[in-house]
Every structure is written in C-alpha cells, then in structure tokens.
Amino acid sequence: MRTIDLATTPLRELNEALHRQKDGANEDNWEVLNPRGSHAVAVGVDAPINLDVKGSVGYYCGGMNKKATITVHGSAGPGVAENMMSGKVTIKGDASQYAGATGRGGLLVIEGNASSRCGISMKGIDIVVKGNIGHMSAFMAQSGHLVVLGDAGDALGDSIYEAKLFVRGKVKSLGADCIEKEMRPEHHEELAKLLESAGFKDVKTNEFKRYGSARKLYNFNIDNADAY
C-alpha cells in the first residue's frame, strides 16, 4: 500500500507518480489522504491499480481514467470520471454536475445522488446511481447505460442518441426525442449485470423502466422544429 497525503504532497506529485504506473509493474494499492476538495485528483491514470481516496474531491476526479479502480470515500465535485475510457470509479457519497460526462467506457458507480447532467454526452460508459439524478441527465447521450435506482429530474435523455437508460423511480419529465421503451428479456439481463457489477444486490430488474431514443430527430425535419 502506498499512501500519499495531499496535505503535505502537491497534486502534481500524486498524478505524476500515478502516471508512472504501467501494466505489469504496478504498486497495486494506493491511498490518498486529505484530498479536501482538491481538483483533478487521479486524472489520466493508465494502469490497473486500486486507489482509495479518503475524503471528498473537487472537479474531475478520475478524469480520463483507464483501467484503474478508484474509490472516493466521500463526495465528488463536478465532472467526476469525465471521459473515462475503462476501469471503475465509485463515489461513496454524492456526485455533483456532469458525472461521467462524455465517458467512453468503464463503470461509474455513485452510491449517493447525482446532480444535473449526469451522463451528458456519454459515449459508451456505464453509470449506476443508487440515489436520484438531476435535470437534463443523459443529454445527447450517445451510447452506454445509465441506471438510476431512485428518481430522475426534468428532461431526462434530451436529444438522446443510442444510450440506454433504466430508471426505477419516477421520471419528472422526458426530454426531446426520449421515450419509454419496452423492457425485453435482453434488457433485464443487461440491467442485472450492471447492478451486479455495481455491487447492488437484491434489486429487482422488473421494477425498472427503460428509456431511449425515438430516433425522430436523427435527420432534420422542419416540422419537428417545435421539439426543440
């Protein structure tokens, strides 16, 4: 276990040390103490390490992560795991705006609530939120999955492309071109796997509804202009 205390070590040294970790020659387990809301903690990591952050972080924690398993034992500021490529990022507390924005792969688990624009422009990432998510979540979501065990705010999935959304609770409103879709057996299977990966047991997939694109806005049509 390697421990880095951000109360005494500059952020630059932490990220530099993490970037030195490569496949096969890793110090497997890392611990970051006293993050105290620091921004850009553990960004651009590209190695299969385990990293525990003992406290809350600011913006962009785990940004562009590849392969690493990062757990924040606190809450996360805006843009947690933005553009993540692979690996797993878990937030034990709540996450602020834009969680998992533009993520291209990997799994983001938020054990508390997520704020507005969760999964905005997601491009392949899987996001599982135990609590609620805020308005405009999955805006322009391209691909990947967003699973919400709680409720979703206004305009869920506005201008969505091919991402799949599963919500157990209430959806305040759906955004442009986002509709409820049938939960077929393959969707139950997909959802069960996502819940299992996220570590949420005893959750019934038949309590969820699926949402996705009506695909009516994929090519411009003047008679759809009022949808915007």
Partner 1 sequence: MSYHNPPTTPRKSWTFDDYTLSEIRRAAQTGIYDIRGGGAKRRVPHFDDLLFLGASISRYPLEGYREKCSTSVTLGTRFAKKPIELKIPITIAGMSFGALSAAAKEALGRGASIAGTSTTTGDGGMTPEERGQSKTLVYQYLPSRYGMNPDDLRKADAIEVVVGQGAKPGGGGMLLGQKISDRVAEMRNLPKGIDQRSACRHPDWTGPDDLEIKILELREITEWEKPIYVKVGGTRPYYDTALAVKAGADVVVLDGMQGGTAATQEVFIEHVGLPTLACIRPAVQALQDLGMHRKVQLIVSGGIRSGADCAKALALGADAVSIGIAALAALGDNDPSLEKEYNKLNTTAGSYDDWHEGKDPAGITTQDPGLQKRLDPVKAGRRLANYLKVMTLEIQTVARAAGHNNIHNLEPEDLCALTLEAAAMARVPLAGTSWIPGITGTGGL
Burial of 34 (0-12, 13-18, 19+ CB in 10 A): middle
Return d(Cα 198, Cα 90) in angstroms, integer: 9
> C-beta of 225: minimal distance to partner 1 in Å?
9
The residues binding partner 1 (CB under 8 A) are 11-12, 15-16, 19, 39-40, 43-44, 46, 58-60, 63-64, 66, 78-79, 82-83, 85, 97-98, 101-102, 104, 117, 120-121, 123-124, 139-140, 142-143, 159, 161-162, 218-220, 222-223
Complex with partner 1: residue 118 or 191, whichever CB lies closer:
118
* β-bridge mates for residue 179, sequence order: 212
Residue 18 contacts residue 51 (beta carbons within 8 Å):
yes
Residue 154 contacts residue 135 (beta carbons within 8 Å):
yes
Complex with partner 1: residue 101 or 149, whichever CB lies closer:
101
Dihedrals phi, psi of 57, to nearest 5 degrees: -120, 160
> C-beta of 128: minimal distance to partner 1 in Å?
19
Complex with partner 1: residue 58 or 74, whichever CB lies closer:
58
β-pairing, 178-181 vs 143-148, is unpaired
Complex with partner 1: residue 35 or 205, whichever CB lies closer:
35
Q: How open is the CA angle 147-28-39, to the nearest 5 degrees?
A: 60
Complex with partner 1: residue 123 or 164, whichever CB lies closer:
123
> C-beta of 145: minimal distance to partner 1 in Å?
14
> C-beta of 85: minimal distance to partner 1 in Å?
6
> C-beta of 40: minimal distance to partner 1 in Å?
4
- In 3D space, the residue among 76, 200, 218 whose CA is nearest the CA of residue 126 turns out to be 200
> C-beta of 218: minimal distance to partner 1 in Å?
4
Complex with partner 1: residue 202 or 220, whichever CB lies closer:
220
Complex with partner 1: residue 90 or 116, whichever CB lies closer:
116
Element (H, E) at 196: helix 185-198
**Alpha-carbon 128 to chain mean position:** 7
> C-beta of 58: minimal distance to partner 1 in Å?
7
106 SS3 class: coil
Sequence letter at residue 54? K
